[in-house]
């Protein structure tokens, strides 16, 4: 069985290992390339003045922050476990994971921090999902978004992925962001491969990801119970168990 992994290369390895443990071969098709912005260091220097905490909504934010700034003393609040792990690897000691989406992160920050203690710095990309800033500003916090990287979309499906779809060799496709999902749909249509989705089960991290995928006629479209990689793997395990039961 083969599965399409659409994550950026920096994030793909744990998922590839999880698939291999289940006897599934991964086809890597990173549809977003992460590029640090040349003024990332300056952006952070300015944004961190008077800050009380850092916010990471992606592992990319944590990694690129670490490359651009030596600051590690501030507490980190991360949207999920992958972002939290990247922050710890980068050398941050006080790291708390919201274990969900930006709404969960905003709720965590409101519970743990007070607006009068300083600004919140969101080290982010040029495109973000949700309205973290709005949620925090409505709660009285000073929110600063430091744009330190760009996620550049692919302009064509990788050759191996296109060939697997064309040959009917692809059984699964896993998607982690609405932007990646929308890019995939666009590139599949451009390659005249939309019909191939009918043989593929898509697994999306959230309802927003599923909505971006819904214009293709998939064999099945499943959504993780919560927006974490662990929950997506759990959805995959449930699918595999159903298939084994149907064959019995």
Confidence of residue 226 (pLDDT cuts 50, 70, 90): confident
At residue 81, the pLDDT reads: 87
Longest dimension (CA), the chain: 62
Residue 119, pLDDT above cutoff 80: yes
Q: Which of 123, 121, 13, 114 is nearest to 68 (CA)?
A: 123
Q: What is the pLDDT of residues 146-183, one digit of tens each?
A: 999 998 899 999 999 999 999 999 999 999 989 899 99
Residue 107, pLDDT above cutoff 80: yes
**What is the Cα–Cα distance from 144 to 55, expressed in whole angstroms?**
10
Average pLDDT on 67-74 reads: 96
More confident residue, 194 or 127: 194
Contact 205, 236 (CB under 8 A): no
At residue 141, the pLDDT reads: 97
According to DSSP H, which parts of 29-167 are helical? 40-47, 59-68, 81-89, 102-112, 132-138, 159-166
At residue 62, the pLDDT reads: 95
Residue 222, pLDDT above cutoff 80: yes
Q: What is the pLDDT of residues 9-66, one digit of tens each?
A: 878 888 999 999 999 999 999 998 889 999 999 999 999 999 999 999 999 999 999 9
Q: What is the mean pLDDT of the chain?
A: 94
At residue 148, the pLDDT reads: 95
At residue 33, the pLDDT reads: 87
At residue 8, the pLDDT reads: 82
Confidence of residue 130 (pLDDT cuts 50, 70, 90): confident
**What is the Cα–Cα distance from 237 to 221, expressed in whole angstroms?**
14
At residue 236, the pLDDT reads: 96
At residue 127, the pLDDT reads: 81
What the chain holds in terms of domains, given with CATH numbers, is 2-31+154-247 (3.40.50.10090), 34-152 (3.40.50.10090)
Evaluated on CA atoms 147, 143, 42, 76, the torsion sign reads negative
């Amino acid at each position: 069985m083969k599965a399409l992994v659409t994550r950026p290369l920096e994030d793909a390895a744990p998922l590839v290992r999880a698939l291999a443990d289940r006897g599934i071969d991964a086809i890597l098709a990173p549809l977003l390339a992460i590029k640090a912005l040349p003024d990332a260091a300056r952006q952070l220097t300015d944004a961190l003045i008077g800050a009380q905490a850092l916010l990471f909504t992606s592992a990319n934010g944590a990694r690129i922050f670490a490359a651009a700034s030596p600051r590690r003393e501030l507490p980190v609040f991360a949207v999920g476990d992958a972002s939290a792990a990247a922050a710890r690897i980068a050398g941050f000691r006080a790291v708390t994971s919201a274990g969900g989406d930006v709404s969960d992160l905003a709720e965590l920050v409101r519970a743990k921090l007070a607006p009068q203690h300083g600004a919140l710095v969101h080290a982010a990309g040029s495109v973000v999902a949700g309205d973290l800033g709005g949620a925090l500003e409505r709660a009285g916090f000073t929110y600063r978004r430091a744009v330190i990287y760009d996620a550049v979309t692919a302009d064509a499906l990788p050759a191996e992925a296109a060939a697997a779809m064309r040959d009917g060799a692809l059984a699964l496709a896993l998607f982690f962001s609405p932007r990646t999902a929308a890019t995939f749909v666009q590139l599949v249509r451009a390659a005249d491969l939309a019909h191939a989705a009918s043989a593929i089960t898509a697994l999306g991290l959230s309802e927003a990801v599923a909505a971006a995928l819904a214009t293709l006629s998939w064999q099945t479209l499943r959504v993780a119970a919560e927006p974490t990689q662990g929950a997506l793997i759990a959805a995959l395990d449930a699918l595999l168990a159903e298939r084994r039961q149907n064959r019995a």
